[in-house]
Structure formats: structure tokens, C-alpha cells
Structure 1
Amino acid sequence: MKRRGTALLLCAALMAAGGCAARQDSAGKGEETEYLVYYSALSDQRGESAVEGERHTLPQDQDPVPSLMEVLLEGPDSARLTSPFPDGLQLLDWQLEEGRLHLDLSEQYYSLSGVDLTLADACLTLTFCQLEEVESVYVTVEGRELSYRAVQQLSAGDILLSGGADEPLAMGVELWYLRPDGQALEVERRQIVKTVDQTLVQAVLAAWAEGPEDGLTPCLPEGSQIRDVTLQDGVCTVDLSPEYIQGLPQNETAAALMVYAMVNTLCEVDGVEAVQLYIEGEPAPAVGGLPLDRALIPDLSLAEGSY
């Protein structure tokens, strides 16, 4: 599970077939009920969905809410799927009233942000909305709302299951830019849409290249063109035009902040562990003492200006 300090907006789009998966009684098992329990499918490079349901049966005499939560936190059986939840997460309390299921979770849920939060929220909502009596899911952490979330109460219509070849994916992202004083980086949280002809890294980088919306300073030098961006074995390769190197400051610290604004942004994407910069198909040259001819891992400390 990836790390990040603050969470974002949840994706908002209509699900195909107009609702959550229905609960199904298991054939020939009168004392059990079958449910779909949802997990992240982003690690499956050949998949076409952001999340995918895995079938589990529960005894009919068990309360389905805590039982399904227990299955969610245990993680998937399939090697293609992964748990979107942080280690140590617990269900502290729950209440169901007039169709709204209130889940109060432990503090580990605060660690989720960006795509990670989107996936966790989606898996909770889709798993519990299949219960006939649940119309929406309301998540708090130790009794408090996530103040940075625009939508607190989530229903089936707020979740987009697929984001592969068939339809766009709306998602929250964290984009890194320079602070106005130029001394450190800061995150701008935004909702973007990945179109059907984009990969996830292409969509995130394109949104970042548009520049900030909230008073921060852009970090793509003027005139720079993004020629290509690909992801393989955890390394995101970005091929840029010569204007990128030409436009970076000669000061090593200032150049590092602009470079790592891109690196940190791309490494927010699930599956990206490092970023390799190329200039017209060749490894980028050094800028001052800053080596750009190797894969760079994110440096979150730059939010404190400690480069």
C-alpha cells in the first residue's frame, strides 16, 4: 500500500447497469449467502477495471456488515487483486439508519490519499451497497469526517468501476508544484479524468503539465514538450524535448525542486516506484550536480524544503 499524507476527492461517475452488484443466495447452500467483496485490480496490467469483486460466502446467521468488513481487511484470495486498505485498519463501530451505513474506522485510514483513497472508498461502497438495506456508505475516522473530502456520503452512483479500455476514469490526484517562495514543494489536490486513449501515467502527467490552479508555481519549463511517457517494471520513463533541460535553473537546488515536482507527482500513481527522464530518446544530462541520467525515486521531504 502506498503512503501519502492527505486524501482527495472520490471519483464520481455512473456505474454500468445502474447499481451495485446484487446479493446472491448460493445454490444448494441454504444456510449461506454469497457476496461480492471488492479489491483493487490496478496491479493487473491486463485488466480493464480499477476494482474487481471476489465471491465470498457467509453464514446467513452472521451479521453481514462486520463479517464483510472482516473479509475486506483479510485481503483477496486472488493474486491478481490487492487490498486497498492500510495495515492495521480496524472497524471501530458501525450503524445502519434509513439506508445509510455509517462505518467508523481506525486512524490508519488517514494515511490514504489520491488513487489509494479512491480505491478504498470504492471497495467499501461497492461491497456494502449490495446489501438490500444499504443505499449509501458514510465513512468517518475515529468519529471524525475526512474534512478534505468533498463528498462524505457515497452511493453506487458515485463510484466508477471500470477505467480501462471501455470508458473514462474520474479520480483524485496529488500534483506537486513549487511554492510561491520557490523554497519548497507543495501538493495541489485535483480531480481529473483519464480518457479512453490515455494510460494512467499519461493522464496524470498531462494534468500536471497544465500547471497549478491554486496559486502555486508551475514546474514544466516554458516551451517544453512531453514526447512520450511509459511505465514498465515500476519505472516511469518520460521523454521530453530539449527545452526541458534548457529551461531548468542552473542552481542545483532550484532545478532539483522542479525535477522532483514531476517525479513525486508520477510516483503517486499506483505501480510507479521511480522516474527516468529522457531528452529526445537519450538519458537526460546532469544539471549542475544533479544526476538525471538515472531513475529517480520520490523525495517527499521536499515539501519541507529540506533538499
Structure 2
Amino acid sequence: MTATLPQHKAAGPLRGRSRPLEPAFRGVLLASLIVAVLFLIVLLSYVFIEGSGRLDTRLWENFPSKLYPERAGAQSAIVGTLYIIGLTGLFCVPIGVMTAIYLEEYADGERWYNRLIELNVQNLAGVPSIVYGILGLGIIARGLGVGRTLLAAALTLSLLVLPVVIISAREALRAVPGSIRQASLALGATPWQTTARQVLPAAVPGIATGTILALSRAIGEAAPLLLLGAVTHITFNPANITDAYTVLPIQIYNWIKQPEAEFHTLASAAIVILLLILLAMNSVAIWLRNRYQKRW
């Protein structure tokens, strides 16, 4: 006589339970996505159609003009934007990556000062940009005597995006498997050699992607730069970091305020240029991620 084993249900306790709200929740999510995409398409279409009449060489070859919109351009704003982003990356990337390496690879999580650093980094990532503008005006521009110059603007935007760079770099370092660290240490490498030659190269794609996305946020900031002397009418390109400057968001805002329709067309064309710069930066981030990303 053969004994039969008791049969167990293959499904868990939640399997088969009806979820009447799940289709409705999916419908709400899909509707939200459709509405957001439609608004984006409408906005981009309006900007491209409105600014198509001035998307020519005059836009990036000529300087701004208050009296002749048909000859006005945005060369000084384009050059100032590129300078600002370049200096911001030069200041914030080394500091952000080194801070992330310390917090992720060397810091003792039980120490109160390390916990305080982590807490402040997470909180500073959500601080409004205008607060950084006030901080830059009071400490960098006036306290350090830098003045309302290109250097003060770059340092302030570096503080703005630094928490994002640190967080993204830590996530990239954390994604590297611990077995790589253990194997390197087992072969006699020091902790610094392990970090510099094994962990950091493997995390470069994630670090680069997060850094470029953080700089993409800085490229559209206008509120901090208004406090730091980004004037609206500059008819020259900055020659050094102590010169006056302007950027595309400020120039666009100045043209939008003008009553003439020609200036509004110029503003739309400048928005297209700003979007193209932003798209180029994001494309580089996607290329770096796809080219160097490793699957663990």
C-alpha cells in the first residue's frame, strides 16, 4: 500500500487574490504619462515653430541688441553658458567623487561625524536653488571678495549640484560587487590600490552619467545667477573668470519681457539652442552608460 504525500498549494497566500483597484491604478498611471507627454510635445512644438524664423547663423554669431531685434543674437549668452558649465564641472566633479569614495569606501558609519556628513548631503540635495544664490552672494561674492563674476557663479552652481554628484557617485560605487574588492585585497593590494584600480574604473560609467545629469540641472538655473550679477545685456564674451557674464536663461527672460514680437521669436530660438545643448549633454551621458556599463 503506497502512501500519498500531502499536496501543498504552489501558490502563496496572496496568489489568486482579486485586486479590483489594480487596473484602475494602472489606468491612472498611464493617463498621467500620456498627459505629461502631450504637454511636452505641445510645448516643444510651440517653441520650435515660434523660433524657427530665427534659427540661423545670426543667433550664435551676433551679440544682443536692445534696438534692432533683426540683428540681435545670443553669442555672449551661449559662450557664458558654456563657460559656466565647464567651470562648474571642473570644481564639483573632483570634490564630489572624492567625497563619495571616502563615504563609501573608508568612512566608518558608526562615527557621528560621518553620519552627520551623510545626513547633510542628503538634505542639501533638496534645498531650493535660490538659497544657494543667497549663500553665494553673501559668502563667495561678498565674504571672499570674488564679486559678481563668472567665478562666483561657477562656485555657487558647484555647491548647488555637488550633493547630486556625491549621491550619484556613491550609488555607482555601491553597484560594484564586493567580491571584486575582496579578490583584490586577497591578492595583496592595499585598500587604496583596490579603490583606484578596481572599484573606481568599474564605477566610472555611473559616475559620469550622474555628473552630466547634475550639470544638466545647473544649465537651466536662473535664480542664483540673478543674485550673482548675470546681467541681461552683454555685448562681449568673457575673457577670464573675473569678467561680467550672462547665460541663456537670463537672456531668454530678458527677451520675453520685451513688448516686441521679434524679441519673443528670439527667445524661442534661444530656448531651442538651450535644449540642443541639454540634449547633447544627455546624449553623452547615455553613450557613456551604454559604452562602458558592465553587467555584474
TM-score by length of 2: 0.22
Larger Rg, first or second structure (1 or 2): 2
Considering Cα pairs closer than 8 Å and 6+ residues apart, tell me whether 1 or 2 has the greater RCO: 2
